[in-house]
Amino acid sequence: MSGYKAIRETIQTEFKETPKLYKEKLALWHSEPTVTRVDYPTNLPRARELGYKAKSGILVVRVRVRSGRSKRVMPGGGRKPSKSGRFFSRVGSSQSIAEGRAAQKFSNCEVLNSYYIGTNGYEKFYDVILLDRSNPVLRADPRYAAMLGQRNRVFRGLTSSGRKHRGLSGKGFGTGALRPSRRSVERSGN
């Protein structure tokens, strides 16, 4: 058995067989700030699949996001209250919201990718992998240099979760008008 497979199985057994330990972790994460830098990934095999390497300039951040739909304040100014609505679906997924929060907190970094690590019922937790733009080690590596050239990639929907909520990752009926983008299809008149 490979080392990563053993780590993956350990994480799964911790989740299934010892829920008390898992709940303690979630309670600890809940008491931390919303965006917290961590020393190493929570799920190392998953982080490695998404491009993480233990080299200088690569950071891992844990982010928590409220789950469910968002509630907006009702506007004033003579509108009918029945037309304002109460709960609204978010524009992107909670994972892309977490990536955006990490990018805002660490403004000198680009988001490489992220993955889900848990939920406590009303919050979801994600690990976000960030790349330091000014790090010479990452600039010399061709794998990461291309990512560093894409400024604000998380806000343009270029990460994997961003591509999902743009509708670019799937196949099937009705997805033809999503590529290369909805706007370009509208401009072409097809």
Question: pLDDT tens for residues 45-58?
Answer: 889 888 999 999 99
pLDDT: which is higher, 49 or 38 = 38
- Token reading at 136: 């010479």
This prediction has a pTM of 0.81
Peptide bond into 180 cis (omega under 30): yes
Fold annotation for 3-74+82-153: Ribosomal protein L15e (3.40.1120)
What are 110-128's pLDDT values in tens digits?
999 999 998 888 899 999 9
Classify residue 168 by burial, with Cβ atoms within 10 Å: 0-12, 13-18, 19+: middle
Per domain, the residue ranges of the chain are 3-74+82-153
The confidence score (pLDDT) of residue 65 equals 94
